[in-house]
Amino acid sequence: MKYLIVGLGNIGDEYANTRHNIGFIVADALAQEGSAVFKTERYGDIARLKYKSRILVVLKPSTFMNLSGKAIKYWLTKENIPVDNLLVITDDLALPTGVLRLRAKGGDGGHNGLINIIQELQSSKFARLRMGIGNEFAKGYQVDYVLGKWTKEEENIMIPKVMTAVEIVKSFVSIGAARTMNVFNTQEGKKKPEED
């Protein structure tokens, strides 16, 4: 069984450790836990690891956020991975900082990366792990906020949540989206997925 795990973000040192790059940060943590190393390949950096006999192809697209779908479509095809086995990890302004929410499908929520992925795949029926980054910004400053660096307070919240996100990925590939949502979304103090 093979899975494509995609952390969304923007390449370049100027984007490292910004709120918008939380997907890259989780992808790095997942690869590190699996003793895998990223190698630059077409449309992104790729790491391959095994977990409970599953093969995880971990992708950090190099296409920039708003063209993420091109990279994902390419690697789904190249690795012959069904969309059901795709998990996209992304930041989310609509969730408070540190809140994690797994969804088996859904809309784009105004997120440029998700907009492009849905367009490229012609489907919104793929799993996504949304990581809350809050929305503590003045009107008109959304771009500055999402591309801004974490505050020390935010880092203290997010660092342990990155490891929780890694556990969610491992659960997703082991027992599927529905059961993982029941475990982790409830733990986050949110409504169960069937109530969402």
Q: Which residues are catalytic?
A: 20
Q: What is the 3-state secondary structure (H, E, C) of the chain?
A: CEEEEEECCCCCHHHCCEHHHHHHHHHHHHHHHCCCCCEEECCEEEEEEEECCEEEEEEEECCCHHHHHHHHHHHHHHCCCCHHHEEEEEEECCCCCCCEEEECCCCCCCCHHHHHHHHHHCCCCCEEEEEECCCCCCCCCHHHHHCCECCHHHHHHHHHHHHHHHHHHHHHHHHCHHHHHHHHHHHCCCCCHHHC
